[in-house]
Amino acid sequence: MAAFVLPGDIQTQPDAKIVFNSPFDDKRTYHIEITNSSVHRIGWAIKTNVKRLGMDPPYGVLDPKETVMMAVSCDAFDFDSEDTSNCITVEWTNMPEGAAKQFRHEWFQDDGMVRRKNLPIEYNL
């Protein structure tokens, strides 16, 4: 059963961090590629606790070797008065065998294994 097999790797482009350049008085968007480099179909989701960051799409399903382009947007904010030590987290897990290619939040709450990759957010003045 794929849910009890450690999920394989994903690749993100960029690999290490997301950079938003000033000025921060307008909404900015940064595009990220997520590639399933494993041999199993995976469900993935993006998490953050920062309200000014938005994801489109915030989750999905990837077949082996499939890639998706997603957008991370940052709403306008006051750089001098807000916390800028932020990151987003990509979580992924193997889909259950025979499941339809439709994302389900339950995959991340069941007994299956979930992997995580943090991408720090850098704000350049």
Two structure tokens written together for 56: 């489109």
More confident residue, 108 or 87: 87
| pLDDT value at residue 112 | 75
Give the Cα separation of 10 and 75 in Å (integer): 27
Report, as an integer, the average pLDDT of 7-33: 95
70 vs 98, more confident = 70
Q: Look at residue 1 and tell me whether its pLDDT is greater than 60.
A: no
Q: What is the CA radius of gyration of the chain?
A: 16
Q: Residue 63 pLDDT > 50, yes or no?
A: yes
**pTM (2 decimals)?**
0.90
97: pLDDT confidence band, cut at 50, 70 and 90?
confident
